[in-house]
Chain A
Amino acid sequence: MDFTHLFVELVLMPLIAFLVGLVMVLMLRKVRAKIERRIGPPLLQPLYDIVKLYSKKTQVSHGPMHEIAMMVALGGVIAMEVFLPVPGLNGLAEKGDLIVLIYLMMIPSLGLALGVGACANPNGSIGISRALTAMVAYDIPLMIVVAGVALFHGTTSLPEIIAAQQAGGMSTWGIVQTPVLALGGLIAAYAMLGKEPFEIYVAPAEIATGPMVEMSGKFMGTLFVMQCFQLYAVGVLYTTLFLGGGEYWISFLPKIFAVVFIPLAMTNVFPRYKTEDVLKWMWKWAGGFALAGLALVVMK
């Protein structure tokens, strides 16, 4: 692959991720509105929100660490996108594998922790400690799921995992071959989205939106953009591991939207758990399914 081609892919992949993520945010808000018996926002509202937030003057900055860390967090999610293969675009997926991706997935949380830590607001600090706790809660089942998938396919390369799943049509998809692992992965993906009942680190009524409490204007806009990338990344990762990835966008997009839609449709009927309940629940159920799935893979 020549450099120009790679460069185009590195620009295109985050751009597509952002645009699809915007539609996912719109879906999130529309679904929520429907369940809450509201009309919901117009089609371009997520875009308007980002433009509005980025056009605001930054009133309060808490020093260089606050600003650099937000860039690190945003950079982390953008870097993640170029390792996630999508139809026609492999980016760096052939150079890096699942292990690199898992590392990159932790960067946004750590970047946020650095940035919010610089704010010295107790609500933000509690929010970040909760976010890191939630990460421990869903990352352990996710690691087991990833290990199971890698063992099953005998590789950590995402393009190879996709190719193996696409070899025999739907019957070779991960969700058919390793259904227990796929269930554990879906629960972990739900928790990664940070929606109720796992929404412990935003918790407006408890810690006044936690990490977001000191984020105004452009900082808030950055968080909004990160949400777009995150929704997209979760959908693509799960589709890659269990739904056969995507040969064509026409078949790929419905899959990633379905993955994100399932948690979004359920989230509105739950209140949030307490922090320790998230840990208990995730380790018990997501961890339990992941371990059982791994055991089945090992026995095969």
Chain B
Amino acid sequence: MRPENYKPVQHSASHEYELYFGPNHPGIEGNYALKCVLSGDVVQSLRADGGYLHRGFEKIMEERLWIQNVALVPRICVPDPVPMEETYARAVEMLGGLEIPKRAQWIRALMLEASRVCAHLFYFGGHAATMGMYSNMFWGVTDRDLILDIFEEITGARIYHMYITPGGVRRDLPEGVLDRLSKVLDYVESRLPEFDNLFFDNAVVINRATGVGTLTTEQALSWGVTGPNLRACGLPFDVRRDDPYLIYDELDFDIPTETAGDAWARTLVRREELLQSIRILRQIIATLPKVGGPIRCALPNPLAWNVPAGSVYARTESSKGELGFFVVSKGGAKPWRVHVRGPSSMHAVHVLERLGPGSRLEDVAQIMFSLDACPPEVDR
């Protein structure tokens, strides 16, 4: 609309006003919007408004061959794409009755945990940026880049790897990459005291994040909260431990929890999880050289692969919560139905809409980022 044609809408006198958070707003994650009604500084109601990044992945996947969808799934969630590849591949393997070689399982676990480290480093920066602390954001992104270098070396791509395929992984690890990953992990670990000084021990940060967007365990369970957000309420549920996949039952790691259920607790849980992921990665680095064998099981011709009929639900613990793929096959060359159960659908819509009312305007962005909501995954 041209400015001269603009006629402002006349509202009746009210102490309430509408404020749009997004879709073009520094306080919003990705292409997403929140429609807030405020009175003064207090949010009266909040409505999530998605659809700006709708690409119709679930429908597109019904029109493509099983193997072609490997290129689509990582694009569902930009900051943490590896769990998407893993979950889809495992769902197809479950339908096809494929046995994954042991080495491929270890490599997949390595990719998943490295992706979790990346996502959590990103998260620290995002959460700090909502409070106006951009140093943390740049630090997190810079350190994350070192892991992206490793991804690039292994898969040829930094973000959308398309590396995990039904039956295993696309190619074996390059020589010496485990040593290089080990050095990166040493470096990331050595950086944590600096992150502590800047962010985790910062009195202003603690003051601003404590008591913001608090979830009780009952609310979390009834609203479908999973992952670190659920563990921040005190419930130690983790798919890796409670419904193990790949080689997670052979690994030694803890499930960190907090009890407060607020934005600060969610951040603290992720800080501990970062350390646990590094611990897991070190175990994988020590074990992987001893695990030989193929990296992919024998597959039928992927261009004429009729996956047996059936329906399965595969789930993975992503950095944001439980990620599930419900896949139905009618025995054809393409999936009949693929449904993605992304954790952000719950966190960015149902939970956010309920946590918003009553909170302060300055905390809206912080609540959203502390839930680690990923809008591309909501829209998918």
Is A270 in contact with B26, judged by CB distance below 8 angstroms? no
Residues of A within 8 A of B130 (CB): 205-206
Is A123 in the interface zone, CB < 8 Å from B? yes
Shortest CB-to-CB span from A146 to chain B, Å, is 28
Residues of B within 8 A of A268 (CB): 133-135
Chain B contact surface mostly:
helix
Residues of B within 8 A of A275 (CB): 41, 362
Partner of A37 from B18, B142, B205, B361 at Cβ < 8 Å: B142
Q: A120-B8, A197-B204 are in contact. Are A205 and B26 (CB under 8 A)?
A: yes
Shortest CB-to-CB span from A271 to chain B, Å, is 3
Is B269 in the interface zone, CB < 8 Å from A? no
Instruction: Name the CB-closest residue of B to A273.
Output: B204
Is B142 in contact with A271, judged by CB distance below 8 angstroms? no
Is A37 in contact with B139, judged by CB distance below 8 angstroms? yes
* Residues of A109-138 whose CB lies within 8 A of B: 120, 122-123, 126
Is B132 in contact with A203, judged by CB distance below 8 angstroms? yes
CA of A92 to CA of B131 in the docked complex: distance in angstroms? 42
Is A208 in contact with B27, judged by CB distance below 8 angstroms? yes
- Which residue, of B134, B139, B142, B207, has the highest number of chain A Cβ atoms within 10 A? B134
Residues of A within 8 A of B208 (CB): 271, 273-274
Q: How large is the interface on A (under 10, 10 to 19, 20 to 34, 35 or more residues)?
A: 20 to 34
Is B198 in the interface zone, CB < 8 Å from A? yes
Shortest CB-to-CB span from B368 to chain A, Å, is 10
How many A-B contacts if CB must be within 8 Å? Answer: 78
Residues of B within 8 A of A37 (CB): 138-139, 142
Contact with B along A42-83 (1 / 0, CB 8 A): 000000000000000000110000000000000000000000
Is B198 in contact with A274, judged by CB distance below 8 angstroms? no
* Residues of A238-291 whose CB lies within 8 A of B: 268-275, 277
CA of A268 to CA of B360 in the docked complex: distance in angstroms? 24
Shortest CB-to-CB span from B114 to chain A, Å, is 21
Partner of A126 from B137, B361, B365 at Cβ < 8 Å: B361
Is B133 in contact with A208, judged by CB distance below 8 angstroms? no
* Residues of B123-163 whose CB lies within 8 A of A: 128-135, 137-139, 142
* Residues of B360-378 whose CB lies within 8 A of A: 360-362, 364-366
Residues of B within 8 A of A203 (CB): 132, 362
Is B53 in the interface zone, CB < 8 Å from A? no
Partner of B131 from A120, A126, A208, A271 at Cβ < 8 Å: A271
- Which 6 A/B pairs are nearest by Cβ-Cβ distance? A271-B131, A205-B27, A272-B132, A204-B26, A36-B138, A271-B133
Residues in chain B within 8 A of chain A (CB atoms)? 3, 8, 17-19, 25-27, 41, 128-135, 137-139, 142, 198, 202, 204-205, 207-208, 360-362, 364-366
